[in-house]
Chains A and B, each alone.
Chain A
């Protein structure tokens, strides 16, 4: 009973935090637009307001509405094929966990990769996607796979997926702007040519801000993502009533060193059940996930 109440409290707090973080991301994005505007047109701040802001808002809306497709194509994922036994069993496990969580059935996708991994994405629990790698299907047994799916289902139930997806979109967009700015300054000298018109110190500050903005966005997200991993682990164990499955799966992920390089874009790393680009167990301020050993320890003690 206590556990149940706790879970619901967490979900409510998660929803509130999601709104706060998404607002912060939007503000950051608008600030970047202004900074870029200042760099190019230091004499007139109305120009970015008139031109860039509508474009930025349009971009954010487009990113939001296509976020799921963007993530899936970045991961090179394809819909699971029920004709293949492994993938049919994956669909079965997802069906079971959606019943356990009392959620509608998510779409099931598969990513061709040697690595054991999985992620969930989507804008809301009613329209979500769960994706696992083919490596996970081959190397995990059904009990472990069930634990992994339960973890992802908890992310969906806790409303974690929107915030992760939005962060990826904003970080990607800001990084793109920073890159364009960098090259245009390097080759065209668009901003440099007019530097006499603006305040040099403010100009440098604006440039620094644009360059550092993706890092701010990531840090904002990281501040909450690790906690949510622990939460999804424990809620997942609550769904299956079997913490062992996920603990074993994490153990296998830790031992997992395929010969090929992980595929897909690095920007979607925070979505996965374990970071596909790092194999250390050391926690740092940059880790999207808590160390695997600590996660296993917490699951085993349940």
Chain B
């Protein structure tokens, strides 16, 4: 008789431990996924900032009379380089996206520039990094949503509390840029 009660107790304890381990691992994995997606965004933001000086060098000779357009791009790049928090980074990147859009629109008026192989290449590369940023941002928010759902619903709620985990912030995307996740291809 006692043997049986002991046996059942052991099973219950083992089950509880297994559930705890399962949830612990799941929460840690989800957190790592969020951190990893942020690292992705960061890599792309740096890459984009590195491409800008090249672009400026190529464009300078052709667009002598578009000082303001060029200055806006440089300003946005500086903001991006000095941004610290994720949201600051994203805001600076949105500024840069806007400035580049103007630059590429203005470039339409310079047939010589448009035929420049280097310019074409940079345009492709910048479109690529811009899309990558948009998609890693999307993946970041998806990951945050999945994480928050797990730790805000029962029984994840209880485990998260024990582990001292709090919900994460999603990246806010301004209304104006929401419409254009991809610059014209």
Report if A61 contacts B (CB, 8 A): no
How far is A49 from B181 in the complex, measured between Cα atoms in Å? 60
Q: How far is the CB of A152 from chain B (nearest CB, A)?
A: 15
Interface of B is mostly: helix
B residues with CB within 8 A of A: 33, 37, 40, 120, 124, 127-128, 131-132, 135-136, 138-139, 142-143, 145-146, 149, 181-182, 185
Which listed residue (A88, A99, A142) contacts B136, Cβ 8 A?
A99
Taking a contact as CB atoms under 8 Å apart, the answer to whether A102 and B124 are in contact is no
In the complex with contacts A4-B142, A99-B40, A241-B132 CB distance below 8 A: no
Residues of A within 8 Å of B143, CB to CB, are 102
Taking a contact as CB atoms under 8 Å apart, the answer to whether B135 and A99 are in contact is yes
A-B CB pair tally, cutoff 8 Å = 43
Residues of A within 8 Å of B33, CB to CB, are 102
Residues of B within 8 Å of A112, CB to CB, are none
How far is A101 from B138 in the complex, measured between Cα atoms in Å? 10
How far is A270 from B128 in the complex, measured between Cα atoms in Å? 31
Which listed residue (B37, B120, B124, B128) contacts A96, Cβ 8 A?
B128
Taking a contact as CB atoms under 8 Å apart, the answer to whether A1 and B149 are in contact is yes
With an 8 Å Cβ cutoff, the count of chain A residues facing the other chain is 19
How far is A227 from B28 in the complex, measured between Cα atoms in Å? 34
Which listed residue (B37, B120, B145, B185) contacts A143, Cβ 8 A?
B185
Interface of A is mostly: helix
Report if A89 contacts B (CB, 8 A): yes
Report if A137 contacts B (CB, 8 A): no
Q: How far is the CB of A256 from chain B (nearest CB, A)?
A: 20
Taking a contact as CB atoms under 8 Å apart, the answer to whether A96 and B131 are in contact is yes
Q: How far is the CB of B132 from chain A (nearest CB, A)?
A: 5
How far is A241 from B141 in the complex, measured between Cα atoms in Å? 13
How far is A195 from B91 in the complex, measured between Cα atoms in Å? 81
Taking a contact as CB atoms under 8 Å apart, the answer to whether A142 and B132 are in contact is no
Q: How far is the CB of B124 from chain A (nearest CB, A)?
A: 7
Which listed residue (A102, A141, A146, A242) contacts B139, Cβ 8 A?
A102
Report if A92 contacts B (CB, 8 A): yes
